[in-house]
Structure 1
Amino acid sequence: MKVRCLIVDDEVPARELIRMHLSGLKGFEVAGSLGNAVEVPAFLREHKVDLIFLDIRMPGFSGLDLLRSLNGTQQVILTTAYREYAADAFELEAFDYLMKPVTRERFMQAISKYLRHDRINARQERAALAGPAYVFFKVGREHVKVLLSDIVFIEGLSDYIKVHTVTRSYVASEKLGAMEEKLCAGGFVRIHKSFIIALDKMTGYTADQVLIQERSLPLGRLYKAGFIKRVEAPGR
């Protein structure tokens, strides 16, 4: 599985340097390259990104402003020509902090650190999958335990989600992207920018719709190939 990277910098040469460093790495791909931080939230709603290379000083919406707004499903490596932001980067839990111009040696140190971290997370995820089949959702002030086997589909509502189960629905303080990270390695698949479904609850599908129990949900163009691959996989 490839590590999908997003490069965000208002300077074209800086973006191209990061792209060049990434081009020689097996298992990494550039999912996008943006000239400002304002476009990032919309991009992340439409594309899955694992790692963001983010400039700090940009007009209007700075890299630090963006980092504060992210939901934590992506790792962020800050890139800057200014050392004075290191304390802010540490406080906001940036994964790494690269000084411009980013040298190949320093870039590879950051990548090695990321790969070590990713392997540890993968082991933890495999251990979690072997554990109890439930998840807690923050509903108001309460954390509600929901069995994965009870979930029919999850609907994205901007900064919230609506979890539809076999008996009732919950509006929870969570982002759909975070749910995709937690659930889609198992028996769930994202079919649209606004929907994740439980594969075992699906009753059929068409070219642009997924039938799940008595509901018909849209099948998004960007998610169609991944959905078909999961549906046609032996044993899913």
Structure 2
Amino acid sequence: MIRCLIVDDELLVRELMEDNIRQVPFLTLIKSCRNAIEAATIIHQEHIDLIFLDIQMPKLSGLEFLQTLNTPPLIILVTAYEQYALEGFNLQVVDYLLKPFGFNRFLQACNRAQELFSAQNNLRSKKNRPDHFFVNVEYTLVKIVIEEITYVEGLKDYIKIYLSSSAKPILTRMTMKSIEERLSSFSFIRTHRSYLVASDKITTIKRDFVCIHDKEIPVGESFKERVNELLNARGS
């Protein structure tokens, strides 16, 4: 859910945007403010993801307010004056709504904001997730760099982890379910009950196999549809 703030000195515009926001399922309105001074207070009290910001306001204009923010949230400018568009986009705003605007144009701007919001969250998630883990190999902890994993092969209570940096796989006591859960936030595909494959390492796709260079990895019958869906989604 995207947490929104409206900042506009016109009551009718605020009411219109409040109604519009209620109709967009991924938006939630935190506060509607008459000016930038009120907005500054709210931003210090609440987490805000997106501001619908008027430009022409008394005391402090929308652009002046925007320049006071060290780490501004996503911004959609709302104004009756077209000449401010270039300056707004120089400040890397999401979109520019020219009054009067209809719901279709409002929704278009919101969809653009949602795309950027999702991209930012994905980037933060990637930065925060670990890039390695340790496994026990003959009473020794061995570091596994996730980016180097090409595929994993299950052998009852053990797994073999194949790495791009090593000709010999790492054999450790772990179930396929456990390693799949550990790698769930990365691009791995379960192709078979005994195989988990790094999708970005796949070089060729055959009828019953995916290949990493000359290594053929089986695709189980019950996994084929899901494998095709995931690979097609990532290739599009």
Partner of 2:40: 41
Instruction: Encode CA deviations 1:67-103: one digit per residue, 9 max, x unaligned.
Output: 1111224111100011000111011111211001121
Unaligned runs of 5+ in 1: 134-236
Aligned partner of 1:197 in structure 2 is: none
- Letter in structure 1 aligned against 2:17: I
Partner of 2:106: 107
Identity of aligned residues (%): 36
* Residue identity in the other structure for 2:2: V
> Using the alignment, how far apart are the partners of 1:45 and 1:23 within structure 2?
24
Q: 2:36 and 2:119 mapped to 1: Cα distance?
A: 29
Is the contact between residue 24 and residue 107 of structure 2 (CA under 8 Å) also seen in structure 1? no
Structure 1 residues 73 and 66, CA gap change in structure 2 (3 angstroms): closer
For 1:107 and 1:78, locate their aligned partners in 2 and report how far apart those are by CA, in whole Å. Answer: 11
Task: Please state whether the residue corresponding to 2:37 is helix, strand or coil.
Answer: coil
Matched, 1:71 2:67: no
Distance (Å, rounded) in 2 between the aligned partners of 1:106 and 1:27: 16
The 2-side partners of 1:73 and 1:61 are apart by 16
TM-score, structure 1 normalization: 0.53
Q: Give the letter for the 2:116 counterpart.
A: H
Give the whole-Å Cα distance in 1 for the aligned partners of 2:26 and 2:114: 10
Partner of 1:59: 58
Quote the Cα distance in structure 1 between the aligned partners of 2:63 and 2:31: 19
Structure 2: runs of 5+ lacking an equivalent: 133-236
Question: 1:21 aligns to what?
Answer: 20
Amino acid at match of 1:104: F
Question: Partners of 2:101 and 2:71 in 1: how far apart?
Answer: 24
Alignment of 1:91 with 2:90, yes or no, is: yes
Q: What is residue 79 of structure 2 aligned with on the other side?
A: 80
Task: Measure the CA separation in 2 of the matches of 1:75 and 1:120.
Answer: 12
Give the residue type in structure 1 aligned to 2:95: D
Q: TM-score, normalised by structure 2?
A: 0.53
**TM superposition shift of 1:25:** 1.5
* Per-residue deviation, 1:131: 4.3
Q: Work out the CA distance in 1 between the residues paired with 2:103 and 2:71.
A: 26
Q: Aligned to 2:28, what secondary structure does the other structure show?
A: strand
Question: How many aligned positions are there?
Answer: 132
The ranges of structure 1 where at least 4 consecutive aligned residues each deviate by more than 2 angstroms after the TM superposition are none
Equivalent residue letter for 1:25 = V
Question: Residues of 1 paired with 2:4 and 2:24: CA distance?
Answer: 12
What does the per-residue CA deviation read over 1:136-180, in whole Å, with 9 as the maximum and x for residues that have no partner?
xxxxxxxxxxxxxxxxxxxxxxxxxxxxxxxxxxxxxxxxxxxxx
Residue 125 of structure 1 is matched in structure 2 by 124
1:1-236 equivalence runs, <5 A? 2-131=1-130
Aligned with 1:38: secondary structure?
A: helix
Q: 1:30 to 1:72 in 2, by over 3 A?
A: same
CA distance in structure 2 between the partners assigned to 1:22 and 1:103 by the alignment? 13
